[in-house]
Amino acid sequence: MRRLTVSAVCILLFSLSPAWAEFYRYVDRDGKEFFTNDLKQVPQEYRSSAAPVKTDDSRVSVGDKPVGSGRSTGTMKEHKDKDGRGEQYWRKRADKLRQQLRTYQDEYDLIVKQEKDEEGKPRKLTSRKNKSLSSREKKKALLEKKISRKKQELEVDLPEIARKADAYPGWIRE
């Protein structure tokens, strides 16, 4: 009984062939392009112009290895932007901006904490303390500007630069 089961499973596995879906492309009279995997879904008037779409297995990958029908023997070529920079460059650039933003935010949080600590203490009016308060306020305002500027660079400017350079958006995401 066991041999029969094993041989049935082996026959089943060897008899299976890979299933390839056929995709069709057609263009309507307005110039819109449509794709479908069922020729019956193509309107009758466009069926004669519907053409099978050739798939390119060399562009498909799982992990680090390309997937295909055995035609592709090399490894996937790493995508580079228009200037020849890859994922590592863009990740480092985004990480540098994030680190600067964290540093500014930590300094700002420290100043806010110091202000809260001083609120609980009794106040003595001295010129020295007034100077430290005004310098603290200036530093706080300066840090707010720096934080705002770094957020702008990280969230708006860098993605736009990457888009223009044809870099993948995922490269600059955290």
The 10s digit of each residue's pLDDT in 65-106 is 655 544 545 555 778 888 889 889 999 999 999 999 999 999
49 and 26 Cβ atoms separated by less than 8 Å:
yes
Task: Look at residue 154 in the predicted model and tell me its pLDDT.
Answer: 92
The 10s digit of each residue's pLDDT in 121-165 is 776 655 555 556 688 889 999 999 999 999 999 999 999 999 898
Q: Report the 10 Å Cβ neighbour count for 45.
A: 10
pLDDT above 90 as % of the chain: 28
pTM for this prediction: 0.51
Q: Is 129 helix (H, G, I), strand (E, B) or coil?
A: helix
d(CA 99, CA 151): 11
Average pLDDT over every residue of 167-173? 86
Task: Look at residue 68 in the predicted model and tell me its pLDDT.
Answer: 53
Q: Report the 10 Å Cβ neighbour count for 24.
A: 19
59 and 85 Cβ atoms separated by less than 8 Å:
no
